[in-house]
Amino acid sequence: MDTMVAGVHFLPDDPADLVARKLLRVNLSDLAASGATPLTYFLSLSLPASVTGDWIADFASGLATDQRIFGIALSGGDTTSTPGPVTLSLTAIGEVPAGQAIRRASATPGEDIYVSGTIGDAALALVLMRKDGVEAALARAPALVARYRLPEPRVALGPALRGIATAAIDISDGLFADLGHICETSGIGAEVSFSAVPLSEAAARQLAGDPQLSEQIVTGGDDYELLFCARPEDAPRIAELARSLGLPITPIGRTTTGTAPLVKAASGEAMSLKSPGWRHF
Amino acid sequence: MDTMVAGVHFLPDDPADLVARKLLRVNLSDLAASGATPLTYFLSLSLPASVTGDWIADFASGLATDQRIFGIALSGGDTTSTPGPVTLSLTAIGEVPAGQAIRRASATPGEDIYVSGTIGDAALALVLMRKDGVEAALARAPALVARYRLPEPRVALGPALRGIATAAIDISDGLFADLGHICETSGIGAEVSFSAVPLSEAAARQLAGDPQLSEQIVTGGDDYELLFCARPEDAPRIAELARSLGLPITPIGRTTTGTAPLVKAASGEAMSLKSPGWRHF
């Protein structure tokens, strides 16, 4: 169940169809992290009087598109008025065979840590959009803005990790913070090398222009990639899974007997992260 | 899934524990109307910066109380900040044997219409609270205010109606409007006698003082009683059910071949209802 509030989780003039699709996708991403396959969803819309019929039509059209893509349908929900901003709440229901759900709390020291896809794209899009405005960001780095607006929930990877991942989480708060959630609930530490974190070409280009963006990449959030732990002997199975899904799955570090995550810079020093969590803009 | 917004569905200074319990209960009422037994729930809280720790503690304490009463536990959810009012969304999950869910669309003409408990208490409380303020209403009609603040979801009746009720709904929008939902989805009409509608002593007293309150009673909403249809031959089973549950279940009319609900006043004339639906205050 995830809630998105206009002005907190999205900009009031973000395209309504993309807002709808992002809302559905961030929930599907949560299901994937549990190894669950999507079954259905419930939706609550709290709308101020200023919302237009066009906005609602666009929102519905975005939902319809993603319902087709992900083979999921709306089962119910609620619609209310509000004197506040547009507030959208979605509960996605998935299923997983009994006892096979992937949890956050079951990682142990000495395991490999992996992430799917690439990290930091959405956070870098947000940096650009804040600095230069949406239009300029779209012109300069359309791939990053697209990743921010429309995450790709790893719905095929999640269920395939049952029996392989010892723990998993989807990266919404940021790689560092979400790895921290696994460390905290599992009672372990983790050591990740920044140089191993997979970047898209567009993100690598931004980072080359401003090396300080490394902090945004590991703390920015909104990636909706899966971060998971697995025993070293399962490395070949994971490599095979990446091949069969056509999705990069990259080892970025190891779990330890510590109590918190640590990201090492190329220098070998631990990165000092000013804002470890994700903040709403 | 039901959403409650401060200033729309509850008053900002309503006791937080009762707000929490009402939020859970209106959802359990929905499950009961489907014949489902509660399984678990998900909760989203969108809170403005003005909300205090005390408010949150009271809210949690109310949830804890009702979790014990109804044997249900929180499975997850979301917490976000909002620049708007407190916005609470709850998704309750229940279970019902395959094929036995009670629907709204399956009533046919010639069936009896029943309601559980008493009707109009919450609506009359709201009338008093609006007219004289909360304190005066509490002093004059505590039973009515209690019914407004803390509905009693019919969690035992709902599942017991499987195989008996041809259609059911919980009365949240008002007896007239919710009966209208059954008529609309089932493609039938309905005729109800106001004099058959069961009233509490407190409600009957208010009505005796102001006969015009009859309209509030049938349209006011927030009853969270079950309204259902059943074949005439099932009347004995329903009477037995009422006895075994210790809960009044009252026949109030019949379904017809019409297309809309009709409430007959004591005079035999159809009541003319100015505001057929329920309005947020």
Nearest to B74 by CA among B39, B110, B98: B39
Minimal-distance CA residue of chain A relative to B88 = A89
Q: What is the average per-residue pLDDT within A148-168?
A: 97
Long-range pairs, A70-76, Cβ under 8 A, ≥24: A70/A24, A70/A28, A70/A38, A70/A153, A70/A155, A71/A38, A72/A24, A72/A28, A72/A38, A72/A39, A72/A40, A72/A41, A73/A40, A73/A41, A74/A40, A74/A41, A74/A42, A74/A43, A75/A40, A75/A41, A75/A42, A76/A42, A76/B1
Whether the pLDDT of residue A10 is over 70: the answer is yes
Interchain contact A104–B (C-beta under 8 A)? no
Q: What is the pLDDT of residue A13?
A: 82
Nearest to B228 by CA among B218, B238, B216: B238
Q: Please give the structure tokens belonging to residue B150.
A: 């803390």
CA A159, A162, A166, A170: dihedral to nearest 10 degrees?
10
Which of A2, A4, A23, A44 to mutate: most B Cβ within 10 Å? A44
Q: What is the average per-residue pLDDT within A113-139?
A: 94
Answer for the pair A225, A119: CB distance below 8 angstroms, yes or no: yes
Nearest to B218 by CA among B261, B166, B158: B261
Residue pLDDT, tens place only, A73-89: 999 999 999 999 999 99
Rounded to whole angstroms, how far apart are CA atoms B133 and B153? Answer: 26
> Which strand (E) or helix (H) includes residue A184?
helix A175-186
The phi, psi pair for A121, rounded to 5°, reads -60, -50
Q: What is the pLDDT of residue A127?
A: 93
B98: which residues sit within 8 A by CB, 6+ positions away? none
Q: Nearest-CA distance from B8 to chain A in Å? A: 7
Nearest to B158 by CA among B249, B232, B85, B89: B249
Angle at B228 between CA B222 and CA B229, to 5 degrees: 150
Nearest to A175 by CA among A239, A116, A237: A116
Whether the pLDDT of residue A49 is over 70: the answer is yes
B66: which residues sit within 8 A by CB, 6+ positions away? B20, B21, B24, B25, B72
Q: Please give the structure tokens belonging to residue B125.
A: 């409380």
Nearest to B90 by CA among B67, B121, B114: B67
Q: What is the pLDDT of residue A118?
A: 98
Residues in a beta bridge with A76: A42
Residues of A in contact with B85 (CB under 8 A): 82-84
CA B155, B159, B161, B162: dihedral to nearest 10 degrees?
160
Q: Please give the structure tokens belonging to residue B163.
A: 């195989």
Nearest to A30 by CA among A226, A277, A251, A249: A226
Q: Which of B1, B77, B85 sits opposite A82 (nearest CB)?
A: B85
Q: What percent of chain B has pLDDT over 70?
A: 97
Sheet of A167-170, strand order: A167-170, A226-230, A112-116, A249-256, A189-193, A261-264
Interchain contact A280–B (C-beta under 8 A)? yes
State how beta strands B37-47 and B74-81 pair: parallel
Q: pTM of the entire structure?
A: 0.88
**What mean pLDDT is reported for chain B?**
94
Rounded to whole angstroms, how far apart are CA atoms A87 and A71? Answer: 25
Residues of B in contact with A8 (CB under 8 A): 80-83
**Within chain B, how many helices (H) and strands (E) appear?**
10, 10
Interchain contact A172–B (C-beta under 8 A)? no
Answer for the pair B86, B39: CB distance below 8 angstroms, yes or no: no
Q: What is the pLDDT of residue A117?
A: 98
Question: What ipTM goes with this model?
Answer: 0.84
Q: Residue B191, Cβ neighbours under 10 Å: how many?
A: 16
Residue pLDDT, tens place only, B14-58: 899 999 999 999 999 999 999 999 999 999 999 999 999 999 999
Q: What is the average per-residue pLDDT within A211-232?
A: 95
Q: What is the pLDDT of residue A268?
A: 85
Interface contact B46-A5, CB threshold 8 A? yes
Is the Cα dihedral B181, A86, B150, B70 positive or negative?
Answer: positive
Minimal-distance CA residue of chain B relative to A79 = B3
Identify the residue whose tokens are 């790709």.
A152
Q: Which of A7, A44, A81 sits opposite B89 (nearest CB)?
A: A44
Whether the pLDDT of residue B281 is over 50: the answer is no
Q: What's the pLDDT band for A276 if we cut at 50, 70, 90?
A: low
Is the Cα dihedral B14, B20, B21, B24 positive or negative?
Answer: positive
Nearest to A35 by CA among A88, A106, A122: A106
Q: What's the pLDDT band for B12 if we cut at 50, 70, 90?
A: confident
Q: What is the average per-residue pLDDT within B239-244?
A: 97
Whether the pLDDT of residue B252 is over 60: the answer is yes
Residues of B in contact with A84 (CB under 8 A): 5, 82-85, 87
